[in-house]
Amino acid sequence: MDFGLLFDSYFAVWLNPQVLFMTLLGACGGVLLGAIPGMTATMGVALLIPFSFGMDLIPSIGLLLGIYCGGMYGGSISAILIHAPGTPSAAATLLDGYPMSQKGEAGRALSVAMFSSFCGGVIGALVMTFLSPLVADMAMNFGPGEMFMLAVFGLSVIIAISGKSIVKGLISAFFGMALCTVGLDPTNGIPRFISYKQTGLLDGFQFIPTLIGLFAVAEVISGVERIISGEEKQEKSSEKIKKVLPDLSTIKKIWPNILSGGLIGTFIGAIPGAGGDIAVFVSYGASKSASKHPELYGTGIPNGVAATESANNGCSGGAMIPLLSLGVPGDSVTAILLGAFIMKGITPGPMMYISELPTVYKVFAALMLANLCMLIVGCCGVRFFAKIVSVEKKLLYPIILVISLLGAYSINKNVFDVGVCVAFGVIGWLMNKYEFPLSPILLALILGPMCEKNFVRFMNIQQGNFMAIFQSPIAVVFMAIAVAVIIFSVFNQRKINKRMAGASASDE
Amino acid sequence: MKKTQTVAFANLIESIFFIALGIWAWIKTGSFEEVKNTYVQASTFPRIMIAGMLIFSVILCVQSIWRLATWKEEDQDSLAGKAASINVFKERPIQAAFVVIVLAVLFVALFQILGYVICAAIVSLVIMFLIGKRNWLQMVLVSVIVPLAMWFVFYKVLTVNIPMGPLSFLTDLFG
């Protein structure tokens, strides 16, 4: 590695006013877009890419990376404040973020999310800078068998996020996995549970309307119910946000979660086809399993928010690794970035490290700058965002509902998706009421298609011999970790249930 | 409290629901078209998932029956506690929740005809009234301005074309 050139590139990017302005603008737009339920970082990048046509490569990459990083953090704002994850990868943030907000710590949750996003992004950018060829080589060894086992490994987290009842969590997860199979079979195009006439469901249930329904619409229905029953009274938040960044004692508590989350996010982000939506749940499960007090997860602790948000933004660096090293995009945003590179006459891949090394280093610097800009935008906005929880609930719930339904429509501009969103809102409300956890359904909806697609590919390649999976060391490692996670999570959950039973007995 | 009001009884009903759903879905997979020269049929993966759902639903069912068989009124554990109700005829909060669901369904049904802004304004206004808001000026302002602002952001900034119904002239105005 040419450190002299690396530092020169950093100075050239960071001291260029045009790059600075465009990255800051991108981060600002990304945070705002990400905070709107239904609007993802991918959509933001896709929408703004035409604006980058007339610019030089680095300012345009700065703009797009700013949106990418900003959008990743922005999704957590609505997850924390209104129980509606702005982006799929912010879905796990609400597990602890929303309870923190309900406890009157919305500002603290937002600052932890912002700080963790920044740190996760920096970890991803550092790994990308120093280890990209190494990580890319490893990530490219992932075939269908390895991807299938990665999905199984992701699913092993279900027990850790199941809450009080593992059985109910597993029913939710299998129900979610079964829902993923509605629509056309991904290999042969055979309709399942539908007919060809039901065109709205040919692609199955769209993920974002489902996500918005399960969380945002269900929360509105529950909220209305709580207001009528008198359980929810308008309380003015007593939280005064003196510092926009978390205090030192909080940072001391959350740094292991940030570090592990950042690394998990970077690694998973580097695998083509896997992204932030998987990484956040894996990181949350790992963080909960490693904690001395796993029973506190889900009750509103900063560790849960830090674990998910650092993994989320760690993915941004991770996803850039295969893009730059191999010319293979790690996720949908980097696929659009690949287009931006090609339009500027640069073809990412192994040769880029030889013929375009200064450009590669400038991209590293731009990603680091994008994370810094996201932090600046976040710091400026924390006080303003936190005010949203002070809005009267009687006004807030209807607003959340109409914005969520619009978000569901905007994905495919299809009214059917709005219907799906409402249907899942009702399902989510009922499941919440009868203590079926919703996160396993969500995880199943994320991992189900990946799991099935790779399972079918693997079985067809291996001519029906499933045992061939044991010939892949990576798959075996994932399988072993998945089994260990399941066993550990079962014991952990029993410990949690015992502690909670003990705590409630002592309360009485 | 009656035995039928406990969480254990609710769990029993839920497990029966999921078992019935699983059986129905399993039967449906039998009608999926089969393809030659493939190692995994279209029905294979759904059947694995349905089997998982059925197994754990049966476990929940057995757990619930066992708990109900040993139930005593003075029991304090979580399964012996009072289950949530969805009795729409007796409880006002549930009635309100159902009104919100009906409004959301109407929103979907009338979305293309009345357009987003009108549907959203009506739904917001009714929900605000339902949950006890009586400041009409605030209610009208919020339920009109928020959908209009959202439409503007989506239409102008994010270039998403949203049905506007009778208010389509706004699209031409800002076109």
The structural domains of chain B, with segments of one domain joined by +, span: 3-86, 89-174
Taking the complete model, does pTM exceed 0.95, yes or no?
no
Q: How many domains, chain A?
A: 1
In a domain, A379, yes or no: yes
Determine contact, residues B115/B167, Cβ cutoff 8 Å. Answer: yes
For residue B127, CA distances in Å to A172, B102, B143 come to: 30, 11, 10
Phi first, then psi, for residue B32 (nearest 5°) are -70, 140
More confident residue, A62 or A384: A62
For residue range A186-200, list pLDDT tens digits in order: 888 899 998 877 788
Within 8 A of A228 by CB-CB distance, chain B residues are 92-93, 96, 130-132
Q: Across the interface, do A217 and B42 touch by the CB < 8 Å criterion?
A: no
Determine contact, residues A495/A164, Cβ cutoff 8 Å. Answer: no
Cα separation, A21 vs A263, whole angstroms: 29
In a domain, A504, yes or no: no
Which of B14, B63, B101 has the CB atom closest to A434's CB atom? B14
Residue numbers of B between 35 and 64 with CB closer than 8 Å to A: 35, 38-40, 42-43, 45-46, 49-50, 52-53, 56-57, 59-60, 63
Cα separation, A438 vs A213, whole angstroms: 11
In the block, tokens 């249907």 appear at: A423
**CB within 8 Å of B76: residues ≥ 6 apart:** A508
Task: Give the residue from A97, A489, A96 showing the smallest Cα distance to A297.
Answer: A96
Q: Across the interface, do A164 and B128 touch by the CB < 8 Å criterion?
A: no
Phi first, then psi, for residue A183 (nearest 5°) are 115, -160
B38 forms beta bridges with none
Cα separation, A266 vs A72, whole angstroms: 14
Distance from CA of B66 to the nearest CA of A (A): 15
ipTM here: 0.94
Of all residues in chain A, the one with the smallest CA distance to B33 is: A190
Q: Is residue A192 less than 8 Å (CB to CB) from chain B?
A: yes
More confident residue, A54 or A201: A201
In a domain, A505, yes or no: no
Distance from CA of A326 to the nearest CA of B (A): 32
For residue range A437-469, list pLDDT tens digits in order: 888 888 888 888 889 999 999 999 999 899 999
Q: Is residue A418 less than 8 Å (CB to CB) from chain B?
A: yes
SS (H, E, C) A331-375: CHHHHHHHHHHHHCCCCCCCCHHHHCHHHHHHHHHHHHHHHHHHH
In a domain, A506, yes or no: no
Instruction: Select from B108, B124, B161 the residue whose CB has the most chain A CBs within 10 Å, as the one to mutate to test that interface.
Output: B108
Q: How many CB pairs under 8 A join A and B?
A: 188
A186 DSSP assignment: T
Instruction: Select from A192, A201, A497 the residue whose CB has the most chain B CBs within 10 Å, as the one to mutate to test that interface.
Output: A192
**Is the confidence at residue A508, as pLDDT, over 60?**
no
Phi first, then psi, for residue B63 (nearest 5°) are -55, -45
Instruction: Select from A47, A174, A202 the residue whose CB has the most chain B CBs within 10 Å, as the one to mutate to test that interface.
Output: A174
Distance from CA of A128 to the nearest CA of B (A): 31
Cα separation, A296 vs A318, whole angstroms: 30
For residue range A253-284, list pLDDT tens digits in order: 999 999 999 999 998 888 776 777 788 888 99
For residue range B162-172, list pLDDT tens digits in order: 999 999 988 88
**CB within 8 Å of A183: residues ≥ 6 apart:** A191, A192, A193, A194, A201, A202, A203, A204, A205
A208 DSSP assignment: H
**Is the confidence at residue B23, as pLDDT, over 90?**
yes
In a domain, A339, yes or no: yes
What is the domain range of residue A417?
3-499
Within 8 A of B97 by CB-CB distance, chain A residues are 221-222, 224-225, 429
Containing A192, the helix (H) or strand (E) segment is: strand A191-192
Q: Is residue B141 less than 8 Å (CB to CB) from chain A?
A: no
Counting DSSP H helices and E strands in chain A, the numbers are 20, 2
**Is the confidence at residue A392, as pLDDT, over 80?**
yes
Residue B175 is predicted with a pLDDT of 67
Q: Across the interface, do B111 and A418 touch by the CB < 8 Å criterion?
A: yes
